[in-house]
Amino acid sequence: MKISFAPVSAPRSGALAVGVLDGGKLGPAGLALDKRTRGALTRAIESSRFRGKPGETLSVLSPPGVPLSRIVLVGYGDPNKLDELRMQSAGGAVVGHLRQANESHVAAAIDAVKGTKLGTGDMAAQFAYGAKLAAYRFDKYRTREKKDDKPALEQLTVMCADVPRARQLYSNLEKVADGIYFTRDLVSEPANILYPETLAAQAKTLTELGVSVEVLDEKKLAKLGMGALLGVGQGSVRPPRLVVMQWKGAKGKDKRPIAFVGKGVTFDTGGISIKPSAGMEDMKWDMGGSAVVIGLMKALAGRKAPVNAVGVIGLVENMPSGAAQRPGDIVTSMSGQTIEVLNTDAEGRLVLADALWYCQDRFKPKAMVDLATLTGAIIIALGNEFAGLFSNDDDLAAKLLAAGKAAGEELWRLPLGDPYDKMLNTDAADVKNITGERGAGSITAAQFLKRFVNNTPWAHLDIAGVTWTKRDKPTVPKGGTAFGVRLLDRFVRDNYEG
C-alpha cells in the first residue's frame, strides 16, 4: 500500500476517514462532512453503538451529491489520552475496516485535537505508521487466490496541516516498518524454505544497508568450542550457523556496542525428546528471536541510527535421527562449562549459551539483550499479551519496561535468584539444561542463561507467547507479529543514541 501526505482538502473520490472523539464528538473535518451530508454522520452515530472509543470504526455510505464512496469514522477516545499508540491503532483500524471493502484509495483527514500533546504532523505520521503495519500480508504461496479475496486498498493519503513534519517523522517510522515486515516474512516462511543456511543468507542482505555481516559455519563453530550449539543441530542434515551483524553508526568516543542475541531454531521437533504431533507445524517460528534481531538491525541501519549495535544469532534445526543428541549426553559449551542434556527439547537455551558467551566475550557490549521463543511456561504465566523479562541489571530492566510500554509491546519482569540457580546443579556436569521439576520453568531457563553472560548487563526476553497471533489486532494482522522490533528500536532510540 502506497502512503502519501497532503494538505487538508475535500477528496473527490474514494473513501474518507475522519477521527471521532469519545462520546461520538466530531472534529472539524467530521462536522464539515456532516453539514455536506445533511446530518448523515450524526444520524449514523445516534442510531449505532459507535461512541468514538479508541480503534472503534463505523462506515457510512455517502449520500447522493457527495463525491465519495464512503466515510469511515474512527474513534480516538479521550483527547487527553490521545498518544502515538492510539493514533497508530486508528490508522490500523481504518485499514482493517476496509480490508474486505472494494476500496482502492482512502484519504484520512487529521484534525488538531485539544488536550493531546501531539501536533497534526505527529498525529498524521503515527496514523500512517499504524496503517502501514496493519496492511502487512504474507501471501507469496497463494497461487490460486481470487482477486475478490485480496485486499483492494492500494493507496492511503493522510491529510494534515503540517505536511513537512508528517513526512519527516514518517521517513524514520517507515524504516522501522520495513524491519517489522522483514521479520514477519521470515517468521512466516516454512521450514523447508527457511533453514540455517538460507536464514543466514537473508541476514546477508543487510549488507546493502551498510551492515557488516559474518556467517560462521560448523567448522568455525567447532574451532570456537561451541559444543552446546553444535549438539542441538547434529541430528539434522541442515548444518548450523552463527551470524554476526554489526551496524556502526555512533560518532562518539565510546565505541562499545549495544548487543542483541537471538535464538534461531528454524524448526523444532524436540529432537529425541520429540514433541506431540498436534501443533508441531507452529515450530517453524521457533526462530522468532533471530528474526527480530535481523529486523531490528534492518530498522537501525535503514534509519541510520547514530549507535553502534551488534546482532548475534545462533541458527540450528532440531531434528531426531541416528546422529541426534540424546537425553543424558554431556556437551562442553564455549565458556568451558559442561552441560548435561536431560531433555533435547530444551534446546534453545543451549544455542543461546554459546551465542551469549561469544557475544559478550568478543564485543564487550554496554548491555546485551537476548530474545527467544524459549518456554511454554511463559505462555502459562502471561498468556499472549506480555513477554517475559528477566535481567541481572535493574537499570537495564527499567529501560526495557519503559520502551515496551511506549512501543505497545509490553514486558513483565519475573525474578532470578540463587534458589532457582541451585535447581540447575547436577552431579554429572556443571549444569543441567532442565530442572526436572514442573514449577518455575521460564525462570530456571533464564537462570540457565545467566550462567553464560558473566558480568555484562543482560536481559532475556521470553517471547514464546507473543511471536505469533491467531487473531487480527489493530496494527498486527494474524500470523507473525515481529514483537520486539518496535520495542528494541524504541529502547535504542531513547537510551543509546547521542
| pLDDT tens-digit series, residues 31-69 | 999 999 999 999 999 999 999 999 999 999 998 889 999
- State the CB neighbour count (10 A cutoff) for residue 315: 31
Q: Per DSSP, what are the bridge partners of residue 72? A: 17, 59
Q: Which of 71, 72, 75, 77 has its CA nearest to residue 36?
A: 71
Give the pLDDT band (50/70/90) at residue 420: very high
Distance, in Å, from the CA atom of 84 to the CA atom of 170, rounded to the nearest integer, reads: 12
**End-to-end Cα distance, the chain:** 33
Distance, in Å, from the CA atom of 113 to the CA atom of 482, rounded to the nearest integer, reads: 31
How far does CA 160 lie from the centroid of its chain?
Answer: 29
Catalytically active residues are 275, 349
DSSP classification of residue 9:
-
| pLDDT tens-digit series, residues 442-470 | 999 999 999 999 999 999 999 999 999 99
| pLDDT tens-digit series, residues 75-121 | 999 999 999 999 999 999 999 999 889 899 999 999 999 999 999 99
Burial environment of residue 12 by CB neighbours within 10 A (0 to 12, 13 to 18, 19 or more): exposed
**Residue carrying the nine cell digits 554476526:** 244
| pLDDT tens-digit series, residues 269-292 | 999 999 999 999 999 999 999 999
Burial environment of residue 299 by CB neighbours within 10 A (0 to 12, 13 to 18, 19 or more): buried
Distance, in Å, from the CA atom of 369 to the CA atom of 390, rounded to the nearest integer, reads: 10
| pLDDT tens-digit series, residues 239-276 | 999 999 999 999 877 789 999 999 999 999 999 999 99
Distance, in Å, from the CA atom of 352 to the CA atom of 472, rounded to the nearest integer, reads: 31
Checking if the pLDDT of 362 tops 80, the result is yes
Position 146 scores a pLDDT of 86
| pLDDT tens-digit series, residues 288-344 | 999 999 999 999 999 999 999 999 999 999 999 999 999 999 999 999 999 999 999
Q: Which of 405, 205, 379 has its CA nearest to residue 297?
A: 205
Give the pLDDT band (50/70/90) at residue 208: very high
| pLDDT tens-digit series, residues 222-241 | 999 999 999 999 999 999 99
| pLDDT tens-digit series, residues 180-202 | 999 999 999 999 999 999 999 99
Position 498 scores a pLDDT of 73
Distance, in Å, from the CA atom of 421 to the CA atom of 435, rounded to the nearest integer, reads: 10
Position 65 scores a pLDDT of 85
| pLDDT tens-digit series, residues 383-417 | 999 999 999 999 999 999 999 999 999 999 999 99
Position 133 scores a pLDDT of 98
Are the CB atoms for 83 and 118 separated by under 8 Å? yes
> Based on C-alpha coordinates, what's the Rg of the chain?
24
What's phi and psi for 194, nearest 5 deg?
Answer: -110, 110
Distance, in Å, from the CA atom of 348 to the CA atom of 361, rounded to the nearest integer, reads: 20
**Composition of the chain by helix, strand, coil, percent to 5:** 40, 20, 40
For residue 397, the one-letter residue type is A
Question: What kind and span of H or E run contains 198?
Answer: helix 196-204
Sign of CA dihedral 346, 348, 353, 354: positive
Position 421 scores a pLDDT of 98
Distance, in Å, from the CA atom of 183 to the CA atom of 463, rounded to the nearest integer, reads: 14
Checking if the pLDDT of 149 tops 90, the result is no
Position 298 scores a pLDDT of 98
Q: Which of 466, 462, 498 has its CA nearest to residue 480?
A: 466
The DSSP annotation for 123-185 comes to: HHHHHHHHHHHHT----TT-SS--GGGS----EEEEE-S-HHHHHHHHHHHHHHHHHHHHHHH
Query: What share of the chain has pLDDT > 70, as a percent?
Result: 100
Are the CB atoms for 64 and 36 separated by under 8 Å? no
Q: In terms of DSSP bridges, do strands 15-21 and 70-77 run parallel, antiparallel, or are they unpaired? A: parallel
Domains of the chain: 2-162 (3.40.220.10), 177-495 (3.40.630.10)
